[in-house]
Each structure stands twice: as structure tokens, then as C-alpha cells.
Chain A
Amino acid sequence: MSTNLSIFDIAGPIMVGPSSSHTAGACKIGQFARALFHHTPKKVTFYLHGSFGEVYKGHATDLALLAGVMKFKTSDPKIKNAFEIAKEKHLNYKFLTRDLGEKYHPNTVKIVLEKGKEKMSVIGSSVGGGMIEIVKIDDFEVYLKGTAGKYLSLVVCHDENPKVLKDLERKINKLGIKIAETVQSHYKDERLSVLSLEGRRITLEEVMELEKNSIGIDFIRSLSKLQQTA
């Protein structure tokens, strides 16, 4: 299937400087984390690993990550003012340098988003030219590529009972949306599945409806909007 790179991953993204991996890519990781968390966070902590940790100030990686969490596009000139805008929005943020381990790409960040009792941790890497990969969501090892694809993804956290996912897949098919691929990761008795959808874009209402009416499902997140380049 078309997980192939786009020509516009190379001739792009259109972005605000200074660095595609440290600014644009960082912004994109922030956007993904925000989409996965689904809520508007009150508190965000960024753990910067490798090169991200060494040079984040000069590359405005901190501004870009924070801007991404506030859903700014990589080409938004307001990225410059992310700190002030976060303050206006009463979003608490903190940047810490942390060695996350050798297995991670040098441009990696762990983002912990919080709102009241809700908490989520997302690890993402900026792999060059603004392209990113999400490699961990909470305790689940995943592999989500942030490229300009026509394929849309749903991230589903659910029980290990195989009927739960089958049931959900049937409901999605009923909406006239095909599932091209399902990739699952395990942690204890929970499963995290990434469903690559084909055909039309799933609406937010449909996602919320699915989440509400399914048993054994912790959450469903749609990443469809993010897969467009800015």
C-alpha cells in the first residue's frame, strides 16, 4: 500500500524556519501528540532526547513543539510567539533534557500531556526533512509515519478479546470505509491497534459515535486530518 514517501515530503514541507527536523518536524510531533490526547491539555512536559536535547534552543524546537501541541501548522508564522500564546491559553509547559535510551533516533521527544486525571505520553522522532514517526503511545510500541498520505489512520486502545476489534471493524465497514491494514501492539492485557483506512475520510462525529457505542474500547483517535501537509 502507499506508505511510499510523497514527492512533497521532499519538496516540502512549507515551513517556518530554522530547521526542518528541529522546527517543522517538532511541530508535527506536537500536533500528533495533541490529536492522540484528544483533550485540550492543561499541562505539557517535553523530555528532549539526543540532538533535540543538545540544540533545542537555537532551533526553536521548544517553540515548535509547544505550537504543535496547540495545533499550529508548520507554516504558521505565529510559531515564533508560542510561549506567549500558551500563557494566554493558561497552558503550563516544561522542557527537560532526558536520555531516553540508545534505541531512539537522535531527534526524539517524549511528550506528556495532562488534563486533570487524563494523562498520555507520546514518543516521537523527527527523522529528517520534516518527516516524523510516532514510536510509543503510553506503554505501547507503535509505528506511525507522519507523511502526506492519502491513507487515514485510527488509533484504538482496546481489550485483548479479539471480538472487540472485529466488532469495531464491522461497524467501520458499515460506514462505507474499508480497512487497508491493522497493526497491533500489546501491553499486558491491553491492545493498541492502528487501523489504516481507505476510501473516504471518517468524520469526528462518527469516531465519537463509535467510541461511545463500543464495549471494551478505551479510546479511539482519528489522525486523518494530520496526514495532510501544511
Chain B
Amino acid sequence: MERAELEAKVLEMVAASFKKDAADLTTETSFKDDLGGASVQMVALVSEIENELDAVLMLADASACATIGDLIDLIEEEM
């Protein structure tokens, strides 16, 4: 999968899990500052990534990502 396609998919998944509009998100969006990330939403996101991209992430690794771009890097490593 090309990086651009992966980015688009992950932005959609983040939007769905955190109940945001995908158009407002970028790879620079911060989980902590912009999304107010709680573990419940991160669990939903990790599950969705596992379902749709077949990449199994550790919750602790996903939670350690500062931005959506960092998460995409992590997914690329696992795919």
C-alpha cells in the first residue's frame, strides 16, 4: 500500500474512533493536544487498524505516538 493511501485510511479511522471530522485532521494532528485522547478511543483505533490493515499494534506503542503521522510510521513498520 502506498503511503498516501495508508495516510488517507488512517485519517478516516482516527476520525471514526475519536468522533471527529476527517477533513480537520492531518498527519501533524496531536493525539494529546488536538484529540484529547483517552485510552478507550485508542483501543477502538487499534482494533480498527487490526481489522482493516491487518497490523497488530501494542496499545502501549500506539499510545506513545504523539501525532497521527507517528502512528502511520508505526503501522508501516508492522505491515
Are both chains from one complex? no
Using CB atoms and an 8 Å cutoff, list the residues of chain A in contact with chain B: none
Q: Mark B residues whose CB is within 8 Å of A.
A: none
